Amino acid sequence: SQELEQSPQSLIVQEGKNLTINCTSSKTLYGLYWYKQKYGEGLIFLMMLQKGGEEKSHEKITAKLDEKKQQSSLHITASQPSHAGIYLCGADRLAQGGSEKLVFGKGTKLTVNP
101 part of the interface to other proteins, by CB under 8 A: yes
| Least distance in angstroms from the C-beta of 86 to other proteins | 9
Q: Which stretch binds other proteins (CB under 8 A): 14-22, 27-35, 58-66, 68-76?
A: 27-35
114 part of the interface to other proteins, by CB under 8 A: no
**Would you call the peptide bond into 8 cis, given omega within 30 degrees of 0 as the criterion?**
yes
54 part of the interface to other proteins, by CB under 8 A: no
Q: Which of 7, 18, 28, 50 binds other proteins (CB under 8 A)?
A: 50
